[in-house]
Amino acid sequence: MSEPRDLSAAFDRLEKLLEFPVDFPLKVMGRRVDDFAQSISAIVREHVPTFDPATMELRTSSHGTYLSVTVVVRVESREQLEGLYRELSTHPLVSVVL
| Domain boundaries of the chain, sorted by first residue | 4-97
Mean pLDDT rounded to a whole number for the chain = 92
Question: What's the CATH fold of domain 4-97?
Answer: Alpha-Beta Plaits (3.30.70)
The CA distance from 72 to 80, in Å, is 14
What is the pTM for the complete model shown?
0.88
Q: What is the pLDDT of residues 3-34, one digit of tens each?
A: 556 778 877 787 788 899 999 999 999 999 99
Q: What is the pLDDT of residues 68-95, one digit of tens each?
A: 999 999 999 999 999 999 999 999 999 9
Residue 77, pLDDT score: 95
Phi and psi for 34 in degrees, rounded to 5? -55, 140
Counting every residue written for the chain, the total comes to 98
